[in-house]
């Protein structure tokens, strides 16, 4: 079987996902088109050689409906002959796009494929795809989970309670995320991975959600985000410790990677950045929802024939501080190797773009630090997770 390697990885800066955000004036199709253009430009590949474009997007409605990935490719001015599709595995959508792309290359179905993602949460707010009063679950799920499933914020609270993670620990973790992202930005560590975006208000070249002045004392003054008397009665173990400060914000952004085989890379004169060593997906309790990163991590390591100590760097999506802290406690991983340049709490979480955003950051960080192996995993709504191991080349 052939291998699959990444020969290019780029992302936009991440903007705040509100009407005043730095990227809010950019249509999501145009935002992804910009990223695809930067990827093709930086790799120098002939776009007509691309076999497929697989993009992730979560709220596929309104301006993100109608197969956003296809129109982003066309909007970038690339050949109409190249197909595209848009997938949804919730927050891991573009990481799943990478898995599909790599599987296609390894099987011989593809020679050259783009995996990417986009989300404009300022223009298409989260849950826009579920109209008021609509039931996205159906009768059978309601029968199976008769007490009812819960929103992600409640799941984050349940995880904090189950793993005995307190408010102070979560706020310290969030502070560290901002501190690391601030330092990485000041050192120019994100420069090579980002493609600045020109808007009517100027050029956006830096991630907008990083707050350099964040500290535990400031975060301690924030009110819980998900306190609810109904859930308090149902789950008396909850201490209401999850806040806007120790959770990821809502954001706008896009990201993309170019995947091929080692043989095709050599033929096209491109230098691989990393090999897609192993990948896995896993499911877990949809009530806790965000814990599948634990079995996904175990599964991908087993498939790779590696142990945690073999992994030099980890990217674990910071949807909520409690999620990553629970993963650390469960796996025993070294926290100094996790999200070393900050995570989604500081950098932001533009849903469909986050998978390839994390991968882009991981690839560049591995190069900067001389790492051999990197592991990425993301929690996803419904009790799902993706995990990927990269090997530097």
Residues β-bridged to residue 87: 56
**Burial state string for 183-208 with b = 16 or more CB within 10 A and e = fewer than 16:** ebbeeebbeebbbebeeeeeebeebb
91, 99, 116, 364: the active-site residue:
91
Q: Is 277 a catalytic residue?
A: no
What secondary structure letter does DSSP report for 309? G
34, 99, 178, 349: the active-site residue:
349
Q: Is 371 in a helix, a strand, or coil?
A: coil
Q: Is 34 a catalytic residue?
A: no
Q: Is 57 a catalytic residue?
A: no
User: Which residues have C-beta within 8 Å of that of residue 251, sequence separation ≥ 6?
Assistant: 14, 15, 16, 17, 21, 119, 121, 208, 209, 348, 349, 350
Tokens of 341: 């340049």
34, 178, 364, 379: the active-site residue:
379
Round to whole Å and give the CA distance between 39 and 45.
9
Q: Is 152 in a helix, a strand, or coil?
A: helix
Which one, of 186, 209, 208, 210, lies nearest residue 196 by Cα?
208
Pairing mode, if any, of strands 274-283 and 52-56? Answer: unpaired
Tokens of 213: 């002045």
Q: Number of helices and strands (H, E) in the chain? A: 13, 12
Q: Is 381 in a helix, a strand, or coil?
A: coil
Residues acting as catalytic residues: 91, 349, 379
């Amino acid at each position: 079987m052939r291998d699959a390697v990444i020969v290019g990885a780029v992302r936009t800066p991440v903007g705040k996902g509100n009407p005043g955000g730095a990227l809010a004036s950019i249509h999501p199709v145009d935002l992804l088109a910009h990223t695809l253009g930067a990827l093709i430009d930086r790799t120098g590949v002939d776009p007509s050689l691309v076999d497929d474009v697989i993009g992730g997007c979560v709220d596929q409605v309104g301006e993100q409906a109608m197969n956003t990935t296809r129109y982003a490719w066309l909007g970038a001015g690339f050949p109409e002959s190249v197909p595209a599709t848009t997938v949804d595995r919730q927050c891991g959508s573009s990481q799943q796009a990478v898995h599909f792309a790599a599987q296609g290359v390894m099987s011989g179905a593809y020679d050259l494929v783009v995996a990417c993602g986009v989300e404009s949460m300022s223009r298409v707010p989260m849950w826009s795809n579920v109209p008021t009063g609509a039931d996205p679950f159906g009768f059978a799920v309601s029968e199976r989970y008769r007490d009812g499933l819960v929103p992600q914020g409640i799941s984050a609270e349940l995880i904090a309670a189950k793993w005995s993670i307190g408010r102070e620990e979560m706020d310290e973790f969030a502070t560290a995320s901002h501190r690391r992202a601030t330092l990485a930005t000041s050192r120019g560590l994100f420069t090579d991975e980002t493609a600045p975006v020109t808007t009517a208000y100027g050029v956006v070249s830096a991630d907008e959600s990083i707050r350099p002045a964040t500290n535990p004392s400031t975060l301690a003054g924030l009110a819980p985000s998900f306190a609810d008397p109904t859930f308090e009665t149902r789950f008396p173990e909850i201490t209401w410790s999850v806040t806007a400060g120790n959770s990821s914000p809502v954001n706008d952004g896009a990201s993309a990677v170019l995947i091929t085989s080692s043989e095709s890379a050599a033929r096209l004169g491109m230098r691989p950045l990393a090999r897609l060593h192993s990948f896995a997906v896993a499911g877990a309790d949809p009530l806790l929802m965000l814990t599948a990163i634990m079995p996904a991590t175990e599964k991908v390591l087993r498939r790779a024939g590696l142990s945690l100590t073999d992994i030099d760097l980890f990217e674990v999506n910071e949807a909520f501080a409690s999620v990553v802290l629970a993963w650390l406690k469960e796996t025993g991983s070294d926290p100094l190797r996790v999200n070393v340049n900050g995570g989604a709490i500081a950098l932001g979480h533009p849903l469909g773009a986050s998978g390839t955003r994390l991968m882009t950051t991981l690839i560049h960080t591995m190069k900067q630090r001389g790492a051999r192996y990197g592991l990425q995993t993301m929690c996803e709504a419904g009790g799902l997770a993706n995990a990927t191991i990269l090997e530097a080349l």
